[in-house]
Amino acid sequence: MGAGLAEKIAALPMSWQLVPIVQTIEGTSPADIREIAKRWRKAAGKASEQSGRLNRAVGDVDNAWKGQSADAFVGYMGKYRKAGMALHDAVDSAAGSLDQAAQALETAKTKVTTLCNELLQFKAGQADPESDAAQQALIKKVLEAVPKATELESTASKALSTAMTEINRQLKERTPTFRSIDSPGDEPWRPSNGNIIDWKPVPIPKTTPTSFQGGNGGNGVTPAAYTPGGGSGGTGSGGAGGVPEPLTFAPGTGTGARIIQAARQHIGKPYVWGANGPNAFDCSGLVYYVLNQAGIKIGDTTAAGYQASGKPVSSPQPGDIVFFGHPASHVGVYIGDGQMIHAPRPGADVTVGPVSANGRSISYRRFT
């Protein structure tokens, strides 16, 4: 809104009701509100990132140790992961509320500016602005503008009030919180007097190095001799010959929101070829685990196998499954705004990333 607009409106007859509205709207800054929302989203991302790092470290412990104490430790530390994700979701949602308020304020600001400019243009278009006829016509225009401006100011004010209420609710009602986590005390995994701990090391399995290309620009073909129970094994091949059989599935209580909520819980967990959770995943293993966790009963297969299942969609919605290539060599969970949660490649963690074709076709399927 141009500087001095309120002063120009004040020079119009019968504008005493309109001027304070213009001054109020003129003094607001939707851009500043959006900048705050941007900083909050960055903070939410940091919370998610640190939660993921902690979760990966706990996963390493879980993979290396078994026994009652080891299981209790993993369960206890899982509370921190849940608290971190709850903080992420609350702050991210609060940022969304700020964006909505900024948009409402910007709309009001634009429309009030238009009203004011129309009044000034009307006055400028009069042959004799100071004549009684011109003044009466201008007064009529000003009085017609007052209720319109009042309604716009009220709408913007309500949007700001609603945003503040929603932000307070989101931050106060998030569960669990870090404060709600009990002190370690006499947890069964913690050495203390009279507490017999049960930590048993897991033997390190002998593995043969393999080459994995799926999700990193290749064709996702798995070694023929290896048929794991995890996500990259299963009933078909994402890049080899043969057409994968579609899987039957039961949508149950699954929704797009539940799929995304389930996927977010695994951000930061390591990529392990053939793994299908709960502590490590490959790309299709993550989809298998997340769909079932969200209430959709479906079997384990490859990226190409999931691509042959579900309902094809051309306009993706958050919670749909995104595929790369045909047959698919990589798969992820679409979360909206061109972003997905996926297990990218060996040496990486489950993460949020852009839906980028990299020379491959992109398609979507819906399982809800």
- Confidence at residue 142, expressed as pLDDT on a 0 to 100 scale: 94
* pLDDT for residue 232 is more than 90: no
Q: Tokens 């389930």: give the residue.
A: 262
Closest CA relative to residue 176, chosen from 95, 77, 29: 77
Q: Which residues pair with 311 in a beta bridge?
A: 366
Whole-number Å distance between alpha carbons of 342 and 150: 48
Q: Looking at this protein, which amino acid is placed at residue 41? A: R
Identify the structural domains of the chain with CATH numbers, from first to last.
5-180 (1.20.1270), 256-366 (3.90.1720.10)
Q: Write phi, then psi, for 296 (nearest 5 degrees).
A: -100, 115
> Residue 153 — pLDDT band, cuts 50, 70, 90?
very high
| pLDDT of 60 over the 90 cut | no
Instruction: Grade residue 291 by pLDDT with cuts at 50, 70 and 90.
Output: very high
Structure tokens given for 205: 């399995």
The predicted model gives 96-124 an average pLDDT of 93
Q: Which two tokens stand for residue 140?
A: 């009529």
User: Residue 186: what pLDDT?
Assistant: 67
- Residue 196 has what DSSP assignment? -
What mean pLDDT comes out for the span 203-217?
42
pLDDT, one tens digit per residue, over 301-353 is 889 999 999 999 999 999 999 999 988 989 999 999 899 999 998 888 999 99
Over 50: is that where the pLDDT of 214 sits? no
Angle at 91 between CA 85 and CA 96, to 5 degrees: 125
CA angle 320, 325, 220 (to 5 degrees): 105
How far apart, in whole angstroms, are the C-alpha atoms of residue 106 and residue 25? 9
pLDDT value for 226: 26
Cα distance between the two ends of the chain:
46
Cβ–Cβ < 8 Å for 9, 15: yes
Q: Is the CB of residue 335 less than 8 Å from the CB of residue 302?
A: no
Ranking 152-156, 174-178, 207-211, 286-290 by mean pLDDT, the lowest is 207-211
- Over residues 188-200, mean pLDDT: 77
For tokens 């016509």, the residue is 137
Answer left, alpha or beta for residue 34, where phi above 0 means left and psi between -120 and 50 means alpha: alpha
Cis link prior to 354 (omega < 30° from 0)?
no
What confidence score (pLDDT) does residue 204 get?
60
pLDDT at 249: 92
Three-state DSSP state, 367: coil
Q: Is the pLDDT of residue 292 over 60?
A: yes
- Write down the mean pLDDT value for the chain: 83
Which element (helix H / strand E) includes 330? strand 330-336
pLDDT at 193: 66
Residue 340 in tokens: 């997905």
Percentage of the chain modeled with pLDDT above 90: 45
For residue 114, count CB atoms less than 10 angstroms from its CB and return exposed for 0-12, middle for 13-18, buried for 19 or more.
exposed
**Burial class for 198, CB neighbours closer than 10 Å (0-12, 13-18, 19+):** middle
Distance CA(43)–CA(311), nearest Å, equals 36
Q: Which two tokens stand for residue 29?
A: 């800054």
Helix 68-124 and helix 30-64, axial crossing angle in degrees, nearest 10? 170
The share of the chain scoring above pLDDT 70, in percent, equals: 87
Would you state the pLDDT for residue 357? 67
